[in-house]
A = this chain, B = another copy of it.
Amino acid sequence: MLDQALQYAHAHRDEFLQELVQFLQIPSISAQPDHQPDMQRAAAWLASHMQQIGLRNVQVFPTAGHPVIYGNWLEAPGQPTVLVYGHYDVQPPDPLDEWRSDPFQPEVRGDDLFGRGTADDKGQLFVHLKTVEAYLRTGGKLPANVKFIIEGEEEVGSLHLPAFMESHRDLLQADVAVISDSHMIAPNQPSIVYGLRGLVYMEVEVQGPAHDLHSGSYGGAIKNPIEALCEIIDALKDNQGHITIPGFYDKVRPLDPEERAELARVPFNETQFRAEAGIEKTWGEAGYTVKEQISARPTLEVNGIWGGYTGAGAKTVLPAHACAKISMRLVPDQTSDEITELFRQHIERLAPNTVRVAVRKLHSGEAAIVDRHIPEMQAAAIAYERTFGRRPVFTREGGSIPVVADFQRLLGIPTILMGFGLPDDNLHAPNEKFHLPNFYKGVDTAIWFLREL
């Protein structure tokens, strides 16, 4: 049964790739209202594809936002049930002019497939769909029960997923969840992520004068809202890289020496990190290694800023507004609600009294840590070893997959993060890619995993 599935998967790689390309051609950008029809199109395409490969009870559930797609195969009595999570929405592709090929006309260059959503997450979700197909098209059955829950709002904070999960607990009940939406350390070094950061994403708007003013006639006697915003942003970190929000670090679970030693054992090449980022020097919180800074410590980043005249040439304006998008990555045991409130209070305190400031939360999710010693983790470790010839290492990841905390909280199940991406996949950036050997090995790994459970 396993061998036939593996053979099928190996023989159908070209078809798998062609189908994935079709899926990727739909610009399902959840953040942009213009792409609402594309979101519907992607959901319909996916549901139809799930039915074609033999999943049962495929349903498109409307939500207050983008739909959730569900499907299952539950004919393995006495076997565990795996809940596979993925998302069919993608990040906006801008800046468009930095792409070497059209983000929505995927292109294979060398061993890589380039396009928005290749790694995050359409390609990685496809790994599990093709695993189901390989089993059902050969032996007609799966070695375990599976359920799929695929959402369309991961890139905008999974706004409606927790409510959906709460109202569909029975439908989703399972023994373990599996998510492929993260990356391995290197093509030859599989890794399993056991810790994820949470996220709070805020928007800060500073209002100065009631309308844009001539900087010659008014400049000099009015607080400039861009300058006020820069003042606020500059005050959010000290010169050691520590975040200055009072209370921000109070709930942070300290890294004990044992875990720091374990994280230090994870292969991490700082030279390669700098090369991937295109920087000469790293910069971060004093007292922590780069690996710790990007995975196990909380952070704050300004994701966007705008105000005044930003077109070609010169406009001598003293602007009315300035805005910034600012997000914080959280670690256990910080909670998004508390950090949101501390951030809001701090911004309001920092704002000079010559401007008005508005602080809005755009979305949030909680950090999570999964116990590395449960049997499902070991099944995954074996599956990786069979496929890659090497035991995976266990590591923490800097990104946020809030659904991991939700699965724990709402369904009471642990999550195995089987990431098949690579560190240089350019997630959320121009020239996103998926390493095709990892796509194919991912299918093999997932085929093994269902057997080893």
Contact = CB atoms under 8 A, between A and B. Distances in A.
B399 A303 contact: no
A145 to B, nearest CB: 32
Chain A interface mostly = loop
A220 interface: yes
B222 A233 contact: no
B327 A215 contact: yes
Nearest to A318: B301
Interface string A207-228: 0111111111111111110110
Nearest to A201: B314
A257 interface: no
Contact of A201 (B218, B299, B316): B316
Contact of A221 (B293, B317, B320): B293
Contacts of A294: 217-221
Nearest to A289: B221
A212 B305 contact: no
A309 interface: yes
Given A329-B216, A429-B213, A354 B283 contact: yes
A230 interface: yes
A315 interface: yes
Contacts of A319: 303-304
Given A218-B398, A310-B323, 15 more contacts: A30-B313, A92-B315, A199-B316, A208-B279, A209-B279, A211-B429, A216-B329, A217-B294, A217-B427, A220-B293, A220-B294, A221-B273, A229-B230, A303-B319, A304-B307
A31 interface: yes
A32, A278, A323 — most chain B CB neighbours (10 Å) = A278
Contact of A302 (B33, B201, B227): B227
Interface in A263-287: 273, 277-285
A317 B429 contact: yes
A277 B307 contact: no
Interface string A92-103: 101100100000
Interface residues of A, number: 99
Nearest to A353: B281
A141 interface: no
A431 B211 contact: yes
A94 to B, nearest CB: 7
Contacts of A219: 294, 299, 301, 329, 398
A297 interface: yes
A316 B330 CA distance: 14
A175 B130 CA distance: 86
A402 to B, nearest CB: 11
A294 B91 CA distance: 45
A219 B299 CA distance: 7
A228 to B, nearest CB: 9
A229 B304 CA distance: 12
A346 interface: no
Contacts of A313: 30-32, 156, 362
A234 interface: yes
5 contacts: A230-B231, A230-B234, A233-B234, A278-B320, A282-B354
A227 B222 contact: no
Contacts of A157: 314
